[in-house]
Structure 1
Amino acid sequence: MLNADNAPEGATNDAFGFSVGAVFESDLALALWVQLGASVAFRDRFLNHVVGTGLFRIVVLAKNDREPGFGETDLLVVVEGVSGHRIALLIEIKLTAAFQPRQAERYAERGERGRRVGEWDEFMTVLVAPECYVRHSIAFDWGRTLSIETATGWLADDPSTHTIFLTGLLQHATSKDILGREENPAAMEFWRLYVEYATEHFPGLEVQLVPSGRSKRVAPSWARFGSGALRNQVVRISHKGNASCIDLIVRNCPSGRLMTAVGPLLEDKMSVKQAGRSAVVRVDVPRLWPQDAFDSQLDNIEAIFIAGERILRFCKLHRSILENLAR
């Protein structure tokens, strides 16, 4: 357990037992709420990033603010400039959950209602999330974005125990343990829909998920194509959710040997690469974001499955050559 009071001067997180298990959006909302209220330096950096340069004072700092018909706003911050102009920041915090239907639109509608009735003169919807969300947040029409990684960087110059603790929390929140390996309901639902869609529309692909760990609650990170046709382990086809490619993998084979054998047979946009001790025939495809909504990525998912069918046909056509290379 963290015991900050007994921490020696200059202690790191590890030195006084910093340990965090699961981290949730509500934890980050509380941490950001406290930091905005308690740290002038952090507050100034935040407002400069979101609102722009200028002198502002916070007149409202609310957490989990609910309003009938508009749902809950994770953080509501209202700032006032020197002229009395008030700007509302309606902040949504994401970590592993999927976006809800019309979530950004409902935030904007709530902001517009407040402007119309005179609660503020202007409003901005703000998404605070890991960088992997922020890169694709434009699809959800958020007015401003702030990555948790950027906010973490703002704390680097503050040696206080409070900031050391907060830095550890934010770093853990954006670590692979949280975003990639621990239970992630949004990612698990995404992969369930991935298999369901493939089974209905691309049954010949024989899509099978490969678990990331022993626990069934851990979201998978990649899928295997041709799971029935390619039962051996020397040749297989994989699509990793965090990569922009599908690989036909030939185990324990140098890429030069694979290129010599199949180079003249390669089809358009296929290439040979080395991947560790294996060689692969690779097809580039769009990248997927399992923490984002499945329907918003449907065009990319179809493109992936079409490419998967193509490389599976190539594998079946030249299977004897490929399997001999791995022996």
Structure 2
Amino acid sequence: MKQLNTYLCISERDVDLLILEEFIVSDSFSNWFVSTVLGQSIECSTVGAWHSVSDPLFGESDLVYIYKLNSGSSHALLIENKIDAQAQPEQSTRYQQRGLKGIELEHWSSFQTCIIAPRNYLENNAEIYDSEISYEQIVDYFGCQPDARSTYRASFLKEAIEKNRRGYLACVSESMTLFAEKYLSFVALNYPELNPEKPKPRAAGHTWIHFYPLIHDSNTRIVHQIYGNKVKIIYLGQADRYYEISDKFGQVQDRKYAVKKSGKSVTVEVNCPDINPLTQNFEDVFEQINEAIALALDLKQRLY
């Protein structure tokens, strides 16, 4: 028995429930988590915490935590949890929409969206949330607590981090992996200035193609969002540049760009042709791919 792993398999739901319990029973954890999200030390009191909160129009939040500050006002954290699953199209946008709806319904007076995941996942994530907390940060929090229960929770999350490191090969889609490999190899050969990401195994829903044209600026990237039919620039953590970016792209006459502020970031997007990489071969949609690449090249020129 001693040779067996303590956990057969840790799922995102397992982590959801661990974090949910901490919100409910531990004021120390709740204060630490909220302070980390807000970037300042605060004390709060728990109103409640919920798992898998669904909205019929805007989808599901993995966790919702509502707290009060000394002023008596209620605030919410809408939390997405990931170990290794690919983000759904516009997932972070729907978190914002659910947060805004909560304000309209007077469930809370303000909100923040947050994603928790292994650090490796966050470094490769293109979805934009108001804040990010890595599993490693949570492990460090538990590691500073003196009780055996916290030691167990730290070891539990370390196993989830290890699962991310190993990769969840059972979810790999051969068709999506092959499509992305051909797409990225084509761009690397013919348009190296876009600096495409390296090919890697992909799940069926992993349909975002990333370009990093500014070699020394990974916080500014171009993405072909295949499901969603968009090519976009993502300015991560650059919300203070919203008006500058909006003015810049508002002056473009030949294309219609949509400039959006999302949390602490800004996106600039334009429509592109419909492609289904799971039912269509790369060669079958070569014309549509070239149209998307042309849009990416155009966006690249406007970065400067």
Could you say which TM-score interval applies, normalised by the shorter chain? 0.5 to 0.7
- Verify: 1:73 aligned to 2:24, yes or no: no
CA contact (8 A) 2:31 2:42 kept: no
1:27 equivalent among 1, 6, 14: 14
The aligned counterpart of 1:53 is 41
| Mapped contact 1:96–1:291 kept (Cα < 8 A) | no
2:13 is equivalent to residue 101 of structure 1 = no
Shift of 1:198: 4.5
Separation in 1 of the partners of 2:202 and 2:12?
A: 13
1:135 is aligned with what amino acid? E
1:289 and 1:159 map into 2 onto residues whose CA distance is 41
In the superposition, relative to structure 1, how do residues 77 and 201 fare at CA in structure 2: closer, same or farther (>3 Å)? closer
Structure 1 residue corresponding to 2:118, chosen from 120, 130, 148 = 130
Task: Give the Å deviation of 1:108.
Answer: 0.6
Displacement of 1:195 in angstroms is: 1.2
Partners of 2:210 and 2:20 in 1: how far apart? 36
Q: Tell me if structure 1 keeps the 8 A contact 2:61–2:79.
A: yes
Q: Secondary structure at the match of 1:297?
A: strand
- For the residue of structure 1 that corresponds to 2:65, the secondary structure is strand
- Please give the secondary structure, in 2, of the residue aligned with 1:153: helix
Distance apart, 1:49 and its partner CA: 0.1
Counterpart of 2:134, as a letter, is: S
| Unaligned stretches of 5+ residues in structure 2 | 213-304
1:133 CA drift (Å) = 2.1
State the partner residue of 2:256.
none
Higher mean C-alpha displacement, 193-202 vs 24-33 = 193-202
- 2:31 is matched with which residue? 44
1:1-327 equivalent positions in 2, closer than 5 A: 19-51=6-38, 52-137=40-125, 139-175=126-162, 177-185=163-171, 188-189=172-173, 192-198=175-181, 286-287=197-198, 294-299=206-211
Q: 1:21 to 1:179 in 2, by over 3 A?
A: farther
Structure 1 position 202, deviation (Å): 6.3
Quick one: distance in 1 between partners of 2:60 and 2:127? 17
* Secondary structure at the counterpart of residue 48 of structure 1: helix
> Quick one: structure 1 residues 69 and 195, their matched pair in 2 at CA, closer, same or farther if it must change by over 3 Å?
same
* Structure 1 position 170, deviation (Å): 0.2
- Equivalent-residue separation in structure 2 for 1:128 and 1:197 (angstroms): 26
- Change in Cα spacing, 1:291 to 1:124, as seen in structure 2 (3 Å) is farther
Partner of residue 213, structure 1:
none
TM-superposed deviation, 1:122: 0.6
Gaps of 5+ in 1: 2-13, 204-244, 246-268, 270-283, 301-327
TM-score, with structure 1 as normaliser: 0.55
Q: 2:89 & 2:30 partners in 1: Cα distance?
A: 31
The one-letter code sitting in structure 2 at the alignment partner of 1:56 is C
Q: How many residues align?
A: 207
Question: Match for 1:195: what amino acid?
Answer: L
Question: 1:200 and 1:59 mapped to 2: Cα distance?
Answer: 48
Offset of 1:199 from its aligned partner? 5.2
2:208 is paired with a residue of what secondary structure?
A: helix
**Counterparts of 1:18 and 1:198, CA distance in 2:** 34
Structure 1: how far apart are the matches of 2:114 and 2:183? 37
Q: 1:141 is aligned with what amino acid?
A: I
Counterpart secondary structure, 1:155: helix
Q: Give every structure 1 segment of 4 or more consecutive aligned residues whose post-TM-superposition deviation is greater than 3 Å.
A: 181-184, 197-203, 284-295
Pick the structure with greater CA Rg: 1
What is the one-letter code of the residue matched to 1:126? C
Offset of residue 163 of structure 1: 1.5
Would the aligned equivalents of 1:22 and 1:178 in 2 still touch at CA under 8 Å?
no
Identity %: 22
1:72 alignment partner, SS class: strand
TM normalised by structure 2 equals 0.59
Distance 2:184 2:29 in 1: 50
Paired residue secondary structure (1:174): helix
Alpha-carbon contact 2:58-2:94 (below 8 Å) kept: yes
Return the offset for 1:127: 0.3
SS at match of 2:143: coil
